[in-house]
Amino acid sequence: MTAAPSARSASGSEVRVDEVDIAFGDFPAVSGASLDIRAGEFVCLLGPSGCGKSTLLNAIAGFVAPAAGRVLVGGRPVTKPDVSRGVVFQSGEALFPWLTVRQNVVFGPKMRKVPKARRAALADHYLAMVGLSHSADRLPGELSGGMRQRAQLARVLANEPTLILMDEPFGALDAQTRQVMQVELDRIWREAGQTIVFVTHDIGEALLLADRVVTMTAGPSARIKEIYEVALPRPRELTDPDCARLYRLLRDDIGAEVTKTLRAQGLDDGHDPAIGGDHGR
Ligand SMILES: Nc1ncnc2c1ncn2[C@@H]1O[C@H](COP(=O)(O)OP(=O)(O)OP(=O)(O)O)[C@@H](O)[C@H]1O
């Protein structure tokens, strides 16, 4: 592995979400959300489908303006998207299909007029970090879904963000690839040191990755519900008794919110809808 291209890549930003309301027209999506995230922390946002996880993430990214309250990153108010906050989406289609993986990775630095030699060093470093050095000259269309997500992550890392926002980045991957990517992301985060906010509806994924798991209530007017410390050594195993105990707490927490949503939709049949399918727990 080459040396990190700059000291900036080794530190993350703190994030403050302060009494944030977000509305779409007259629809109150998120209400009174407050959350403090430490520099370099890995936080997962977990909640029932449609509760407002992506909306809150988009407010931190600067894509959506809060109707009330404020978001601060590194002590500065977020008013618009910024290269210091990298966003990884669920689909690898965010890559430019006509550019090679390497060209995609250096695209941001090139736009910022980073000198050519340094762009090359950034690409070498981050392509190696995500395990894609061998595919640097391939087009995104020639990559598997997992490789495209790695390329997307390398492209974000090459901008040396202090905060990475990930919106169900592994949601479209098959179970095996997803598992590999979780282990890889855990390793990359420990190596790169950015703050990460990661949206998922997968309890197991949150427990494998997060320092803290933040749950949200069902919307409308979704709120931060609980914050769970995951003070367990890494890499983690979901079969570890402490992990399994937290898994059950989270399953019950989210299950209660899913029930509320189903009731509101008139779909509840009295059956416990605790989320299945994530890791079969
Ligand atoms: N641009 C928009 N315009 C109108 N309503 C929106 C918009 N974006 C999101 N919403 C609504 O806000 C609520 C929260 O949506 P959001 O996508 O944040 O939920 P989520 O928790 O990320 O869902 P999922 O887990 O299914 O991706 C939903 O009711 C959604 O329909």
Q: What are phi and psi of 96, to 5 degrees?
A: -75, 120
Nearest residue (by CA) to ligand 1, atom 17, is: 54
Q: What is the mean pLDDT of residues 62-82?
A: 95
Name which residue leads in pLDDT, 13 or 80: 80
Q: What is the mean pLDDT of residues 239-267?
A: 88
For 2, other C-beta atoms within 10 Å of its C-beta total 11
Q: Separation of 51 CA from ligand 1 center, angstroms?
A: 7
Nearest residue (by CA) to ligand 1, atom 7, is: 24
Interface predicted TM-score of the whole assembly (ipTM), two decimals: 0.96
In this predicted structure, the answer to whether residue 8 has a pLDDT above a threshold of 50 is no
Q: Separation of 149 CA from ligand 1 center, angstroms?
A: 23
Q: Mutate which of 17, 45, 55 to test ligand 1's pocket (most atoms within 8 Å of Cβ)?
A: 55
Q: pLDDT-based confidence at 180, cuts 50/70/90? A: confident
User: What's the pTM?
Assistant: 0.88
Q: pLDDT-based confidence at 104, cuts 50/70/90? A: very high
What is the model's pLDDT at position 274?
Answer: 47
- Gap between the Cα atoms of 186 and 207, Å rounded: 11
Q: Is 6 helix (H, G, I), strand (E, B) or coil?
A: coil
Please say whether the beta carbons of 64 and 143 come within 8 A: no
What is the model's pLDDT at position 105?
Answer: 95
Q: pLDDT-based confidence at 229, cuts 50/70/90? A: very high
Q: Is 209 helix (H, G, I), strand (E, B) or coil?
A: helix
What is the model's pLDDT at position 268?
Answer: 60
Q: Mutate which of 17, 21, 26, 27 to test ligand 1's pocket (most atoms within 8 Å of Cβ)?
A: 27
Q: What is the mean pLDDT of residues 260-278?
A: 61
Ligand 1 binding pocket, CB closer than 6 Å: 24, 27, 29, 47, 49-55, 201, 219
Q: pLDDT-based confidence at 259, cuts 50/70/90? A: confident
In this predicted structure, the answer to whether residue 7 has a pLDDT above a threshold of 90 is no
Instruction: Give the angle subtended at the CA of 157 by the CAs of 154 and 158, to the nearest 5°.
Output: 85
Query: pLDDT tens digits for 140-157?
Result: 999 988 889 889 989 998
What is the model's pLDDT at position 110?
Answer: 94
Query: Which residue type occupies 145?
Result: G
Structure tokens belonging to residue 281: 């727990």
What is the model's pLDDT at position 277?
Answer: 42
Name which residue leads in pLDDT, 92 or 103: 103
